[in-house]
Structure 1
Amino acid sequence: MLDARIAITGGDPEDLSSLYEWLVSEDELRGMVRVSRRPIGQTELGSAVDLLTVALGAGGAGSVLSSALVTWLKARRTSAKITVEAEGRSVTLEIDTLRDVSALLEQVLGADDRHGTDRDA
């Protein structure tokens, strides 16, 4: 099982809640999305940052998550940054300069759709 972690920095404080609601409305992701807390770093002040964790298994859940993220990002009217991380790979996207990010997200999240152990393909 692969976990994808999604963090949003800047922008509207409600962006993470909005993304959570968006993702749980996807039939293929329902029950797989949860809000997690990141520990506070030694140089950080304040409370821990919330992030979303999505449990991805076989069957194309990475592609579903990628498509849902792209659609949600395109609908945003904010200047936040979103970071998606899975299996040691990550990508940070600026929502206000969003272009076609599908290929980047597929590289990070597409691991569940590949067969075998080849992680560099």
Structure 2
Amino acid sequence: MDVAVGAEGPDGENQLRSLRDWLADSQELRGRVEGVERPPETGTLGPVLDALSVALGPAGAVSAFATGLIAWLRTRRGDVHIKVTLPDRSSLELAAKRVSGLDANALQQQVAEVTNLLSRQQEGAGEPEPERRELP
């Protein structure tokens, strides 16, 4: 199962580059994270990093992705909005301003929610997911 990760805002491309580097440091995700580029706009040089594609195969990759994503968000300053889109087009959105101040229990809950959502999608089981899901 591949998930797409996008970043909103004027610094979105830099945020995606940072997230790609962060996730690539995880042994479980090494070689599973690729940049999705779009052609350059007229008058600009080089392609634009539009999203990340993350291949989630075994269960360990799902957990590593969820943990890595939340941990990366906790390191961000300012407003960062990340959208994870699943193959069935359902999605969830995470904002750094809501994740950075979480205590250990709340952080563990966020990782568990992301992992459960991805695992249900991967297994093709469970109730249908809403098109958009925002984690508290």
Range of TM-score over shorter length: 0.7 to 0.9
The TM-score, its normalising length taken from structure 2, stands at 0.69
Q: Which has the higher contact order (CA 8 A, sep 6+)?
A: 1
Distance 2:8 2:29 in 1: 23
- Tell me the matched-pair count: 112
Q: Please tell me whether the aligned partners of residues 73 and 95 of structure 2 are also in contact (alpha carbons under 8 angstroms).
A: no
Please say if 1:52 is aligned against 2:52. Answer: yes
Corresponding residue of 1:3: 2
Deviation per residue, 1:27-52 (Å, 9 max, x gap): 1100011001369xxxxxx9866100
| Equivalent-residue separation in structure 1 for 2:67 and 2:10 (angstroms) | 21
Percent of residue pairs identical: 31
The equivalences for 1:1-121 within 5 A come to 2-10=1-9, 12-13=11-12, 14-37=14-37, 50-88=50-88, 89-98=90-99, 99=102, 100=107, 101-111=110-120, 114=123, 117-120=124-127
Counterparts of 1:21 and 1:48, CA distance in 2:
16
Using the size of structure 1 for normalisation, the TM-score is: 0.76
Aligned-partner Cα distance in 2 for 1:54–1:7: 11
- Name the structure with the higher helix share: 2
User: Which runs of 5 or more structure 2 residues have no equivalent in the other structure?
Assistant: 129-136
Residue ranges of structure 1 left out of the alignment (5+ in a row): 40-45
DSSP 3-state at the match of 1:79: coil
SS of the residue corresponding to residue 60 of structure 1 reads helix
Moved over 3 A (4+): 46-49, 111-114
